[in-house]
Amino acid sequence: MHSEQTDAYGHKLGPESPEMNNPLKEIDKVTGQLMDGLKQMNLHRCVNIIMVGDHGMEEAHCYRTEFLSSYMSNVDEITLIPGSLGRIRARSTNNSKYDAKAVVANLTCKKPDQHFKPYLKQHLPKRLHYANNRRIEEIHLMVERKWHVARKPPEGKRQPGKCSFSGDHGYDNKINSMQTIFLGYGPMFKFKTKIPPFENIELYNVMCDLLGLKPVPNNGTHGSLNHLLRNPVYKPTMPEEMSKPTPSGPVNVITDDLGCTCDEKNKVEELNERLRQVIDDSKNLPYGRPAVMFHSKYSILHHKDYISGYSEALAMPLWTSYTVNKQVDVTVLPEALNTCVRPDARVPPASSQSCTSYRADKQISYGFLYPPQLASSNDARYDALLITNTVPMYPAFKRVWTYFQKTLIKKYASERNGLNVVVGPIFDYDFDGLRDTEEKMKQYVNTSMPIPTHFFIVATSCLDFTQTVDSCTGPLSVFSFILPHRADNDESCNSWEDESKWVEELMKMHTARVRDVEILTGLDFYRRTSQSYTDILSLKTYLHTYESEI
């Protein structure tokens, strides 16, 4: 059954209108009739019932409308799908003068009270999974809740008090008011059980389980909702790793400095000797080593403070993992080390980046995956200054990355009684939301050094903050980000201010599920935990919305 009444009333009268009680009472009445009928036929304990909404509803009104004509003079040359999520394309497909990038530039940060933010579709948050299709417009306007966007004001004068709507949906789906109801009842569902929010894409697999059908491939994660079933019929198993790491190379005498300089000339051998030490991985990999689910040659580089899965083909880590405690100290690097980068004696020069190439390209710099400022000792700091700990990074993005490393890590670790952090690069040049193969990268990259399109962060702690991250015996808590790696910070209108004013807000906009990270990297996380695998799947499909903080 489907009822459109709540949607119609919500649009016309608004979600807070007293009249909304009427369609809700009608649905309640029909549901009661259904249950009475099932009980009369003695089927009320045999039938599984799902009641679910397809979206929420937010207040909206005509007087809260942004008109593009107040931002640009050529609105007649574009087609806008108006409303709560504006979508723009050229009015004529033959318009050679139409430039999507120029349109976005003309709409970006033009007014202090602007109620929408323009995006090229490839720059939309990855959690939306809405970019790689010719039917998807090139430009999207993420509209502030309660507001609408339209091309220009109506030609005739609107009569005062006349508006055809008081509510709408279609806003960013992480907003609380866009969430809806799920209710499951029947012999296969648990009784009087409240579960955390989940995405509707997960329901298809549950429906197949209820009907005894094998689901076709879909965007859901089969088994992630097993916790709402009494006796789940599908038992997911951890996938087999496709590529095992190769042993890291011996620590050789460095014959090529890769154009790198540092002040450690008198202690090179002593520092390289540290790379021969046997390191206990359990501290920095408390939930197991991320598995590589595609064919790749990589090795594990061990250090006291962090561990990396290093790709020879990319000449950079696939991932880097480290754990910080609640009282983590963030130190200031001595001035002599601000430009220090060391060759890694374990990696052949041909499989390493070089400082020479960084100096030759004025548009790109480098950033560290593990922050040297967190090093546990002076010698450990030199481990963090290895070139195998670097990735190509735009100077503008380094402001975001550095603020995360110097300020936010300490904040989150203090709040959560310690934190395990896994970070790494993402390559999605065709913006299809899937990991780019090396062959695909070559279609987009003219140089030997591919530039990541995004960087991921997966931060895990104990759900019970009284337990430390390395001694957690119960459920885990996670928040993740997929941060766009761009040459500018135009997405944040106040990026000219101190990073404390805008970086965390930007990161929260690009919150993501761990599963989104896995799909974009080809990695598989949480391979060694005390939790059941179905609990891990639920963790991976959880999206931290930060709505309680808004």
Give pLDDT tens digits for 119-144: 999 999 999 999 999 999 999 999 99
pLDDT in the model for residue 161: 64
| Pair type for strands 65-67 and 148-150 | parallel
Coil, strand or helix: which one is 111? coil
Binned at pLDDT 50, 70 and 90, residue 160 comes out as: low
246-285 per-residue burial string, b: 16 or more CB within 10 A, e: under 16:
eebeeeeeeeebbebebebeeebeebbebbeeebeeebbb
Tokens of 226: 């097993």
* pLDDT band per the 50, 70, 90 thresholds, residue 550: very low
Q: Is the pLDDT of residue 463 over 70?
A: yes
Domain ranges of the chain: 64-162, 265-549
Global pTM reads 0.95
- Cβ atoms of 352 and 343 within 8 Å: the answer is yes
159 pLDDT band, cuts 50/70/90, is low
**Does position 116 have pLDDT exceeding 70, yes or no?**
yes
The pLDDT, as a whole number, for residue 275 is 78
Q: What is the CA radius of gyration of the chain?
A: 26
Helix (H) or strand (E) holding 459: strand 454-462
44-72 confidence digits (pLDDT tens): 999 999 999 999 999 999 999 999 999 99
- DSSP letters for 185-200: ESTTBPSS-------G
Q: Say if residue 527's pLDDT is above 80.
A: yes
Helix or strand holding residue 279 (H, E) = none
Residue with the bigger pLDDT between 26 and 160: it is 26
Which residue did the predictor score with more confidence, 519 or 156?
519
Other beta carbons less than 10 A from residue 521's beta carbon:
27
Query: Mean pLDDT of all residues in the chain?
Result: 93
Compute how many other C-beta atoms are within 10 angstroms of the C-beta atom of residue 50: 14
State the burial class of residue 170 (Cβ atoms within 10 Å of its Cβ: 0-12, 13-18, 19+): middle
Bridge partners (DSSP) of residue 81 are 87
Token look-up 């070559």 returns 442
334 pLDDT higher than 50: yes
Least confident of 30-44, 326-340, 386-400, 471-485: 326-340
* 265-549 shares the fold of 64-162: no
Whether residue 271 is predicted with pLDDT greater than 90 in this model: the reply is no
Q: Is the dihedral of CA 374, 378, 379, 381 positive or negative?
A: positive
pLDDT tens string 493-523: 999 999 999 999 999 999 999 999 999 999 9
CA angle 82, 220, 127 (to 5 degrees): 45
**Could you tell me which CATH number the domain at 64-162 has?**
3.30.1360.180
CATH hierarchy code of domain 265-549? 3.40.570.10
Please give the Cα distance from 407 to 330 (Å, whole number): 8
Q: Which residues touch 84 (CB under 8 Å, ≥6 apart)?
A: 58, 60, 143, 147, 148, 168, 169, 170, 171
Looking at residue 404, the DSSP 8-state letter turns out to be: I
* Packing angle of the helix pair 21-40, 5-13 (nearest 10 deg): 170
The residues pairing with 524 across neighbouring beta strands, listed in sequence order, are: 291
Q: In the chain, what percentage of residues exceed pLDDT 70?
A: 97
- Residue 272: pLDDT over 90: no
Identify the weakest region by mean pLDDT among 16-25, 100-109, 249-258. 249-258
